[in-house]
Amino acid sequence: MADVAAMPARRRGRGNTAALPGWVGKAARLIVSIAVTLFGLMALTFFIGRMLPLDPVAAILGDNATQEAYEAMQRQLGLDQPLYIQFAHYVYDIARLDFGTALTTGKPVLDDIGRVFPATIELATVGILIGTGLGIPLGVLAAAYRDTAIDYFVRVFGLLGYSTPNFWLGLMGLVLFYATLGWVEGPGRIDTAYQWDIEPVTDLLLLDTAMAGQWDIFRNAFGHIILPASILGFGAMAYISRMTRSFMLEQLAQEYVIAARVKGLSWGRTVWVHAFRNVAVQVVTVVALAYAFLLEGAVLTETVFAWPGFGRYLTNALLGGDMNAVVGCTLVVGIIFVGLNLLSDLLYRVFDPRTR
């Protein structure tokens, strides 16, 4: 599971950094800071890539190649040059959005990632919808009825979400709901029979089929996605309900809540309308972060569900000894994370009444 609890602490830490006067200074500082982080990301991924004991040359040439062919390929890949030159090439290539060619697919890594990403986006989006749809009401309820059975139930249910190995849950889910009960469809995004009937527009199958009015295919795709998405959503739900609860508790301790009660407002109205409105922004930032963490959950879930997305691409690359793809994926995840963190910070700063 992700390091979710780190986030509020992090925000507290930020408050101290001396701010330059004016938004220009702030923006410049931000850009420099992003640039430094990106450079660090590249250094780290390069370092990991060079440390990998996988032999990219053997991976290309196979088990049967002669030493002569081996050395020629090594030269061709530039692996015979000093490390700092290799790093310079690496940075230069990435700046040109060239992440190299994936050894396992023979295609540019970035193309591969672009191709597999829609599947992950679709899975993560359905997952986050489930997680948010359950997590927010549960969190609010738990706060409103603090220390009651409801509260305990929500907290323990949430902790279960934190504690379950999602790849295991997926495996067990497949045995039960697919193999035994037949309630859901099996691994993969869609039945083979339908695979060629879809006109890809967004590459999000649910959206594409709904727009084309192919409801039978939509139903099939939904049957495939619902189990892995629920399992991912379970983890997101745990995080969202927990954070929502804690935000709400803070609000419910405020004086205006007591004032509202004194004025005769119902408890439900006080909680849902007044208190919740004040935490909505915080909750949105939490949802954004939870979405990012679904990427992590997807790595193993996709492996179990044969879901042709980013996570499975990464594990395949890892197990197949595809150095370029491993490094490329790690870097892309890093960039997405930096972006989403930034977005969540921005949301917080722009919309939160207290920081404005």
Partner 1 sequence: MTDRCDRRWRLTLTLLAGAALAGPAQAATPRNALVMAWNIDAISTFDPAQIGEVVTSELIQNTCDALASFDPKDEARVVPALAERWEVAEDGRQITFHLRDKLVFPSGNPGTAQDLAWSMQRVVKLGFGNAATLTEYGFSKANVEQMISAPDERTLVMKLDKPYPTNLILQAIAANRVATMQDRKTLMANEVNGDLGNKYLATHTACVGPYRLRQWNSGESVVLEANENHWAGAPKLRRVIIRHVAEAGTQRLLLEKGDVDVARDLTPEDMQAIEKMPGITLARTLKPQLVYWGFNNAHPAFAQEKVRLAMRYLIDYEALGKTVMAYNGVPRASFVQLGAFGALDAKEGQPFSLDLARARQLLSEAGYPDGFEAGMIFSTLPYAAPIAQHIQANAAKVGVRLKLEQMANAQLFARHRGREFETVIAAWQTSIPDAQGNASRLIANPDNRAEAKLTQFPSWRHSFQSESANRIAAEALLERDEEKRAALYHQLQRDMMQSGPTAIMFQTVHLAGVRTSLKNWTWHGFGSYYDMAYKE
Partner 2 sequence: MPAATSLGAWLRAPVPASPFQARMQAFWLGWRRLRRNPPALIGAAMLLVLIAVAAFAPLIATHDIYAQDLMARLQPPSAVHWLGTDDLGRDIFSRLVFGARITLYIAFLAALIAAPLGLVIGATAGYLGGWTDTVLMRLVDIFLSFPSLILALAFVAALGPGIENAIIAISLAAWPPIARLARAETLTVRQSDYIAAVRLQGASRLRIIVHHVMPMCIPSVVVRITLNMAAIILTAAGLGFLGLGAQPPSPEWGAMLSTGRQFVMTSWWIAAIPGTAILLTSLAFNLFGDGLRDVLDPRHG
Distance from C-alpha of 249 to C-alpha of 243, rounded to nearest angstrom: 10
Q: Which of 102, 205, 281, 326 binds partner 2 (CB under 8 A)?
A: 326
Distance from C-alpha of 49 to C-alpha of 274, rounded to nearest angstrom: 51
Q: Which partner from the list partner 1, partner 2, none does 62 bind, CB cut-off 5 to 8 Å by kind?
A: partner 1
Q: Which partner from the list partner 2, partner 1, none does 199 bind, CB cut-off 5 to 8 Å by kind?
A: none
Q: What are phi and psi of 108, to 5 degrees?
A: -60, 140
Q: For 35, how many CA atoms within 13 A lie in the half-sphere containing its CB?
A: 7
Binding mask 308-327 for partner 1 (x = CB under 8 A): x---xx--x-xxxxx-----
Question: Under rule CB under 8 A, which residues in 16-75 are in contact with partner 2?
Answer: 16, 33, 36-37, 40-41, 44-45, 48, 51-54
Is residue 182 near partner 1 by the rule CB under 8 A? yes
Is residue 68 near partner 1 by the rule CB under 8 A? yes
Is residue 79 near partner 2 by the rule CB under 8 A? no
Is residue 325 near partner 2 by the rule CB under 8 A? no
Task: Let me know if 205 is exposed, middle or buried by CB neighbors in 10 A (0-12, 13-18, 19+).
Answer: buried
Q: Which of 92, 152, 256, 267 binds partner 2 (CB under 8 A)?
A: 152
Task: Let me know if 312 is exposed, middle or buried by CB neighbors in 10 A (0-12, 13-18, 19+).
Answer: buried
134-150 in b/e form (b: 16+ CB < 10 A) is bbbebbbbbbbbeeeee
Distance from C-alpha of 271 to C-alpha of 50, rounded to nearest angstrom: 54
By CB under 8 A, name the binding residues for partner 2: 1-3, 5-6, 9-10, 12-13, 16, 33, 36-37, 40-41, 44-45, 48, 51-54, 152, 155-156, 159-160, 162-165, 167-169, 171-172, 174-175, 179, 246, 249, 292-293, 295-296, 299-300, 303, 314-315, 318-319, 326, 329-330, 333-335, 337-338, 341
